[in-house]
Amino acid sequence: MKKSIVTGAAILFSMAALAGEQGAMGKASFDKIDSDRDGYVDQVEASAAGITEGQFSAMDKNRDGKVSKEEYQAATQSKSSDSSRDGGAGGY
């Protein structure tokens, strides 16, 4: 019984963490995150917007150290599709 409660709590915590990650990317538009208006989001801008290093790396498909608007849109579009398929618990 005690193990079930602990396991249940761990699952709820994990789901909340995934929802928080999704929220960081889903709420902020590319233009708001690109604070220096250079057409790219760098790691500093991403961190300031609540995007984790892992999320940033997953978005930076060409590994140039910055995320273009196209890369951001592809990632957020893909994330929306993943969330709708799995009940909203999408993640990287």
**The pLDDT value given to residue 79:** 66
- Burial bucket for residue 32 (CB in 10 Å: 0-12, 13-18, 19+): exposed
SS3 for the chain is CHHHHHHHHHHHHHHHHHHHHHHHHHHCCHHHHCCCCCCEEEHHHHHHCCCCHHHHHHHCCCCCCEEEHHHHHHHHHHHHHHHHHHCCCCCC
26 belongs to a structural domain: yes
12 belongs to a structural domain: yes
Looking at the 3D structure of the chain, how many domains does it have? 1
| Domain residue limits at 47 | 2-83
32 belongs to a structural domain: yes
Q: 6-63 pLDDT, tens per residue?
A: 444 444 343 344 444 444 555 589 999 999 999 999 999 999 999 999 999 999 999 9
More confident position, 14 or 64: 64
92 belongs to a structural domain: no
90 belongs to a structural domain: no
pLDDT band at 3 (very low <50, low <70, confident <90, very high): low
CATH code, domain carrying 57: 1.10.238
**The pLDDT value given to residue 85:** 52
